[in-house]
Amino acid sequence: MTALTLAKAINAGLRRSLESDDRVVLMGEDIGTLGGVFRVTDGLKADFGAHRVVDTPLSEAGILGTAVGLAYRGFRPVVEIQFDGFIYPAFDQIVAQVAKLHYRSRGTVRMPITIRVPFGGGIGAAEHHSESPEAYFAHTAGLRVVACSNPADAYVMIQQAIASDDPVLFFEPKRRYHVKADVADDASLADARPMGVATVAAPGRDVTLVTYGGLVRTALDAAVAAEEDGVSIEVIDLRSLAPVDHATVEASVRRTGRLVVVHEAGEQGGLGAEIVARVTESCFEYLESAPVRVTGHDIPYPPAKLERHHLPDLDRILDGVDRALGRSNSLSAHPVRPTGDGVEA
């Protein structure tokens, strides 16, 4: 056990992967000499050399495209996209090549590529630096998508992602990079919880709250706050966004009968839509109220001084919980329709 920040936990995980498999190579902009703009790869180039930790030219399609070629050659590239908003130039290589080549080659060509993406807001950054693009990738067959929320998971999950023979989008909640916690860096990876399995981060009885990444901490805080109010929230940290561990989510909803999904990404077509749709299909008879989504607005990420009015926070989560529980909430004040959804077009 060592107490590490989330950033350092990923660093430690990368180091272990580099040590244990010499086909693992890290690629990205500024990841070598600088150690990454978030220092996640700090020290790795010095220790493993410029052929294992590769500073690349400034071209995201180039990074992903050469990673595909390296995968053809039997390497396991781990690429860093410097910020969420810079993944789009690589979208074609990810969606048309990385995601599809195993299928297109009838299983002969593996794409064990890990794409690390610092994601989400909450750090007062400039535009294009706070995006939550995960739903694009969750909708793309052939990819796996995960998000870590804490150092212990991050340390394990990055190694699992690298070890996976499938391409993995690995989302890192940048606003939690500096949060410290114990990491079982002495434990065996074989015993670890599989990357695809969700965690019940806090058990509860009244409502199931599903989230991931940077908002898990906020959700846990909301659970504590609600407890004082007599409401018991079960917080599920999804960890895997594609595929979703529906078994865990649905088991919880069958007990609580109520669902709130929370994420920073916009509501329309966000991951919450999938989870609500799937739970509704599978647990219809168990639902005591309409599932609720608490999400970022469907707007481009706003300027820094407005981000607190975009991101779900503790109060908005609790308001969503109140909606799920049929308690007084922001929409119940002037109900226009029995569903409490008052402003239909």
Partner 1 sequence: MTPPEPAVLTKPRQMLQLIGERGERLADPEFDPWVADVDLDQLAALYRDMAVIRRIDTEATALQRQGELGLWPPLAGQEAAQIGSGRALRDDDFVFTSYREHALAWLRGVEPAELLAVWRGTQASGWNPFEHHLAVPQIIIGAQSLHAVGYAMGLTWDGSDAAAIAYFGDGATSEGDVNEALVFAASFDAPVVFFCQNNQWAISEPVGLQSKQPLARRADGFGMPGVRVDGNDVLAVMAATRFALDRARRGDGPTLIEAVTYRMGPHTTADDPSRYRTDDELGAWRSRDPLARVLSALEAAGHDVEALQTEAGSAADRAAADLRAAITTLPDPEPLTVFDHVYAEPNSHLERQRDRYGRYLAMYGEEEAGR
Ligand X SMILES: Cc1ncc(C[n+]2csc(CCOP(=O)(O)OP(=O)(O)O)c2C)c(N)n1
Query: Measuring CA to CA, how many Å separate 140 from each of 98, 115, 131, 288, 311?
Result: 10, 14, 18, 32, 25
Residue 112 or 214: the one with the smaller Cβ distance to partner 1 is 112
Q: Distance between CA atoms of 170 and 168, rounded to whole angstroms?
A: 6
Q: Which of 21, 37, 52, 91 binds a second copy (CB under 8 A)?
A: 91
Cis before residue 300, ω within 30 degrees of 0?
no
Closest separation in Å from C-beta 50 to ligand X: 18
Tell me phi and psi for residue 171, to 5 degrees.
Answer: -90, 130
Residue 102 a catalytic site member: no
Contacts of partner 1 in 111-170 (CB under 8 A): 112, 124-129, 141-142, 144, 164-166
| Identity of the residue, 162 or 183, whose beta carbon is nearer to partner 1 in the bound complex | 162
Tell which phi-psi region holds residue 39, choosing left (phi > 0), alpha (psi between -120 and 50) or beta: left
Residue number, 79 or 242, with CB nearest to a second copy: 242
Q: Which of residues 198-237 bind a second copy (CB under 8 A)?
A: none
Site membership for a second copy, residue 84 (CB under 8 A): no
Q: How far is the CB of 1 from partner 1 (least distance, A)?
A: 29
Q: Counting contacts by CB under 8 A, is residue 280 touching a second copy?
A: yes
**Sole binder of partner 1 in the list 20, 47, 104, 178 (CB under 8 A):** 104
Residues composing the chain: 345
Q: Does 65 bind partner 1 (CB under 8 A)?
A: yes
CA distances from 192 to 114, 154, 155, 197, 221 (A): 19, 12, 11, 11, 26
Instruction: By CB under 6 A, name the binding residues for ligand X.
Output: 29, 58, 60, 82, 86, 89
CB of 244 to a second copy, least distance (A): 8
* Chosen residue from 284, 305, 333, 334 binding a second copy by CB under 8 A: 284
**Per rule CB under 8 A, is residue 178 in the interface with partner 1?**
no
Total residues at interface with a second copy (CB under 8 A): 60
Q: Does 308 bind a second copy (CB under 8 A)?
A: no
Among 51, 102, 129, 334, the one annotated catalytic: 129
**If binding is defined by CB under 8 A, does position 290 make contact with a second copy?**
yes
Q: How far is the CB of 98 from ligand X (least distance, A)?
A: 16
Q: Least CB distance from residue 207 to a second copy, whole Å? A: 15
Instruction: Closer to partner 1 by CB, 127 or 182: give it.
Output: 127
Q: Which own/partner contact pairs does 139-143 have at CB distance under 8 Å and 24+ positions apart?
A: 139/269, 140/94, 140/95, 140/99, 141/99, 141/100, 141/103, 142/98, 142/99, 142/100, 142/102, 142/103, 142/166, 142/167, 143/94, 143/98, 143/99, 143/167, 143/168, 143/169, 143/242
Considering only residues 45 to 74 of the shown chain, the ones binding a second copy according to CB under 8 A are: 61
8 A C-beta contact, residue 89 and residue 61: yes
Euclidean distance between CA atoms 231 and 226, whole angstroms: 5
Nearer to ligand X (CB atom), residue 31 or residue 198: 31
Q: Which of 11, 14, 24, 75 binds partner 1 (CB under 8 A)?
A: 75
Q: If phi over 0 gives left and psi between -120 and 50 gives alpha, with beta otherwise, what is residue 36?
A: left
Residue of 37, 55, 95, 185 interacting with a second copy (CB under 8 A): 95
Binding site for a second copy (CB under 8 A): 61, 85, 88-89, 91-92, 95-96, 99-100, 103-104, 127-128, 135-136, 138-139, 141-142, 242-243, 245-247, 250, 265-266, 268-274, 276-278, 280-285, 287, 289-293, 297-300, 337-339, 341, 344-345
Q: Which residues are marked as active site?
A: 129
